[in-house]
């Protein structure tokens, strides 16, 4: 089949979207579409301009024999604000209130469209970091971790509360869980990470930061480095904060069971980091 | 900004890929790109032909005032076979063997590229069914459930072994776990499903089918219907099989700890169902 430019553009867009953060040699597309490298170059310029004009991502060109193009999914801060606003609106509904001042969030974590956006939000903020894996703790952080991982093209590592026979040998640590100050355990399969990897930790909810601190201790046991921390919702609280360097999309200030009010603001995402633009991207 | 056709094609492809199984009126694109509906129609014909020529999905046109287009991600059986082959190659490595004849699969479930493909495999097979939610049990099935859900544009419902304060009121059932014939419990938040929903159950691994049978019992408690069962790996075993109507991508026949051999074949995917082509799609 002989490919027309219009068909190449459609197929190329699809291919790039399914292979983010992956260097693709121009010769790959040239042979896939049986087209000259110069035509492929022109196609990619159109794709690049469209992606960047619309703030949907960057197309980075790496020159040289080992070069190619790399699609970096990004979101404009404006689009991130829309996601944060939507999340705040949903979270502020009184019917989410559970006894003890907890908020029901399970439906949001089960919404693949929202998770896809949240994944892109954080993948965008960490697009410029060297990241080898995303770590989270079972169960609720898993959809967020996978969404980020898909946009960064790296594996997900899931920490568990208990060890399972299907995990093989594990490393376990004890940590002090947040407000209740209870000693808890978390375990991770020895096979899941290699020494020296740079890891982005993520979770759906953070208060004092005990769980995230536990994951940081695990990183030390594996001789891995912390590349960043991304939380969907952080909660204001009195007393010590165990974790400083994190990015949050939304901040929960107050939950009043009596009046049924839930007070939320944007998280520190827009203050601390935010999305990348083309100027700030490294390869 | 005035949009050229080439730019519209790139942006439209991206939009459609991010909104599968969603009916999009032509007027949406017409106003987004400030273009005549006739131009949008021509664009969509190019997108449709490219998607379908490459076996990457269908673009279904719904006529009439409430009509529009809908992107249905699909995979050709040939492409599904490539995914199954890759999975079998990875699973047959002797270093996956764990004491007791278990197979280490955690890294595969943490691989977002593989999970994305697996999601498309099953979304393709069930593209023609009315499905309102994907159900799985924590922890390992979650990445598969989310991958399928994203391609079908439906929510994920996660069953747990224990009830948590952040889930609100729950429904719990007892079930007999597979080979060991132990009585176990699974719980699901009452808020997570509505009466009458059609649910696709998925899991990473199925032997006798006890866990999946447990999820079927939960569906009954919620007055929901079973729309299908999708398992990544089914394992051959002696004795009764508790579940009949399922689709598996890969089948595990034998694990020999002594010789370090793992025998696998394709699952029943290609016999029972497989991907849809354009002729078989309903709207």
Q: Comparing B263 with A240, which gets the higher pLDDT? A: B263
A139 contact residues in B (CB cutoff 8 A):
138-139, 142, 158, 160
| Predicted confidence (pLDDT) at residue A279 exceeds the cutoff of 80 | no
ipTM, two decimals, is 0.95
Q: How far is A187 from chain B (nearest CA, A)?
A: 14
Which residue shows structure tokens 């999309």?
A: A249
The residue-averaged pLDDT of A219-245 equals 94
Contacts of B187 (CB under 8 A, 6+ apart): B159, B160, B161, B162, B163, B167, B170, B171, B172, B173
Q: What is the DSSP letter of B56?
A: S
From its phi and psi, is residue B107 left (phi > 0), alpha (psi between -120 and 50) or beta? alpha
Q: Which residues pair with A133 in a beta bridge?
A: A199
Domain borders along chain B are 5-73, 77-275
Alpha helix locations (H) across B1-111? 5-18, 26-32, 37-53, 77-91, 106-109
Q: Which residues pair with B257 in a beta bridge?
A: none
Residues B178 and B254: their CA atoms lie apart, in Å, by 17
Cα distances (angstroms) measured from residue B222 to each of B100, B162, B197, B211: 36, 18, 9, 17
Residue of chain B whose alpha carbon sits nearest to that of A120: B18
The answer to whether B162 faces chain A, any CB pair under 8 Å, is: no
| Closest by Cα among A136, A149, A147 to A215 | A136
Helix axes A5-18, B5-18, angle to 10 degrees: 30
Residues B20 and B10: their CA atoms lie apart, in Å, by 16
> pLDDT tens digits for A65-122?
889 999 999 999 999 999 999 999 999 999 999 998 899 999 999 999 999 999 999 9
Angle at A207 between CA A135 and CA A273, to 5 degrees: 65
CB contacts < 8 A (A, B): 167
Please name the member of A46, A104, A147 whose beta carbon is closest to the beta carbon of B7: A46
Asked if A112 lies within 8 A of B153 by C-beta distance, the reply is yes
Asked if A156 lies within 8 A of B113 by C-beta distance, the reply is no
Q: How far is A200 from chain B (nearest CA, A)?
A: 14
- CATH code: domain B77-275 is 3.40.50.2020
| Predicted confidence (pLDDT) at residue B140 exceeds the cutoff of 50 | yes
The residue-averaged pLDDT of B29-51 equals 97
> pLDDT tens digits for A111-130?
999 999 999 999 999 999 99
Cβ–Cβ under 8 Å, residues A228 and A195: no
Cβ–Cβ under 8 Å, residues A232 and A206: no
Cα distances (angstroms) measured from residue A21 to each of A47, A169, A222: 16, 32, 25
Cβ–Cβ under 8 Å, residues A141 and A203: yes
The residue-averaged pLDDT of B62-78 equals 94
A53 contact residues in B (CB cutoff 8 A):
1, 7
Q: What is the CA radius of gyration of chain B?
A: 21
Asked if A98 lies within 8 A of B168 by C-beta distance, the reply is yes
| Predicted confidence (pLDDT) at residue B51 exceeds the cutoff of 60 | yes
Please name the member of B11, B50, B100 whose beta carbon is closest to the beta carbon of A54: B11
The residue-averaged pLDDT of A243-259 equals 94
| Predicted confidence (pLDDT) at residue B278 exceeds the cutoff of 50 | no
**Per-residue pLDDT, B152:** 98
**Per-residue pLDDT, B241:** 86
| Predicted confidence (pLDDT) at residue B279 exceeds the cutoff of 50 | no
Residues A207 and A170: their CA atoms lie apart, in Å, by 27
The beta strand positions in B117-271, using DSSP E, are 133-137, 156-159, 170-177, 182-189, 198-206, 225-235, 247-256, 261-266
> pLDDT tens digits for A136-193?
999 999 999 999 999 999 999 999 998 888 999 999 999 998 767 789 999 999 999 9
Q: Comparing B237 with B125, which gets the higher pLDDT? A: B125
Cβ–Cβ under 8 Å, residues B241 and B208: yes
Residues A189 and B269: their CA atoms lie apart, in Å, by 31
Cβ under 8 Å to B: A residues 95-124: 98-100, 102-107, 110-113, 115-116
> pLDDT tens digits for B82-125?
999 999 999 999 999 999 889 999 999 999 999 999 999 999 99
**Per-residue pLDDT, A282:** 46
> pLDDT tens digits for B188-209?
999 999 999 999 999 999 999 9
The answer to whether B171 faces chain A, any CB pair under 8 Å, is: no
Asked if B10 lies within 8 A of A50 by C-beta distance, the reply is yes
The answer to whether A165 faces chain B, any CB pair under 8 Å, is: yes
Asked if A53 lies within 8 A of B1 by C-beta distance, the reply is yes
Tell me the HSE value of A57 on the side-chain side, using a 13 A CA sphere.
Answer: 26
* Phi–psi pair at A74, nearest 5 degrees: -140, 165
The answer to whether B153 faces chain A, any CB pair under 8 Å, is: yes
- Residue A253: pLDDT band (50, 70, 90) is very high
Angle at B142 between CA B134 and CA A23, to 5 degrees: 110
Residue of chain B whose alpha carbon sits nearest to that of A22: B113
The residue-averaged pLDDT of B58-81 equals 94
Alpha helix locations (H) across B33-169? 37-53, 77-91, 106-109, 112-125, 142-152
Angle at B253 between CA B248 and CA B254, to 5 degrees: 145
Asked if A104 lies within 8 A of B49 by C-beta distance, the reply is no
Asked if B46 lies within 8 A of A10 by C-beta distance, the reply is yes
- At B189, list the tokens: 């938040």
Asked if A150 lies within 8 A of B112 by C-beta distance, the reply is yes
Q: What is the largest CA-CA distance in chain B?
A: 69
- Residue A39: pLDDT band (50, 70, 90) is very high
Helix axes A112-125, A142-152, angle to 10 degrees: 50
Number of Cβ within a 10 Å radius of residue A172: 14
The residue-averaged pLDDT of B229-237 equals 96
The answer to whether A65 faces chain B, any CB pair under 8 Å, is: no
The residue-averaged pLDDT of A194-206 equals 98
A1 contact residues in B (CB cutoff 8 A):
53
Residues A223 and A221: their CA atoms lie apart, in Å, by 6
Strand, helix or coil at B52?
helix
Please name the member of A6, A17, A158 whose beta carbon is closest to the beta carbon of B46: A6
Q: Options 3.40.50.300, 1.10.3470.10, 3.40.228.10, 1.10.10.10; which CATH number does A5-73 get?
A: 1.10.10.10
The residue-averaged pLDDT of B246-270 equals 95
Contacts of A229 (CB under 8 A, 6+ apart): A200, A201, A202, A212, A243, A245, A246, A247
**Per-residue pLDDT, A114:** 98
Task: Report the percent of chain B where pLDDT is more than 70.
Answer: 95
């Amino acid at each position: 089949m002989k490919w027309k430019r219009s068909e190449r553009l459609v197929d190329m867009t699809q291919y790039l979207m399914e292979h983010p953060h992956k260097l693709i040699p121009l010769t790959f597309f040239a042979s896939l579409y049986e087209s000259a490298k110069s035509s492929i170059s022109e196609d990619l310029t159109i794709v690049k301009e469209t992606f960047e004009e619309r703030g949907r991502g960057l197309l980075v060109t790496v020159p040289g024999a080992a070069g190619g193009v790399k699609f970096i999914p990004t979101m404009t801060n404006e689009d991130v604000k829309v996601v944060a606003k939507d999340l705040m609106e949903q979270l502020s509904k009184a019917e989410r209130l559970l006894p003890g001042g907890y908020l029901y969030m399970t439906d949001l974590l089960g919404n693949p469209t929202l998770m896809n956006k949240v994944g892109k939000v954080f993948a965008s903020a960490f697009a410029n970091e060297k990241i080898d894996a995303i770590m989270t703790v079972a169960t609720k952080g898993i959809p967020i971790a996978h969404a980020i991982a898909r946009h960064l093209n790296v594996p997900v590592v899931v920490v568990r509360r208990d060890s399972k026979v299907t995990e093989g040998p594990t490393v376990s640590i004890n940590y002090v869980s947040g407000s209740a100050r209870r000693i808890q355990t978390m375990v991770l399969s020895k096979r899941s990470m290699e020494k020296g990897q740079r890891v982005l930790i993520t979770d759906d909810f953070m208060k004092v930061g005990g769980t995230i601190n536990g994951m940081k201790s695990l990183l030390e046991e594996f001789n891995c480095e912390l590349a960043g921390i991304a939380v969907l919702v952080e909660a204001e609280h009195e007393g010590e904060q165990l974790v400083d360097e994190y990015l949050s999309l939304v901040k929960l200030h107050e939950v009043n069971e009596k009046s049924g009010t839930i007070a939320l603001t944007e998280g520190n995402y827009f203050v601390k980091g935010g999305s990348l633009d083309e100027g700030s991207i490294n390869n």
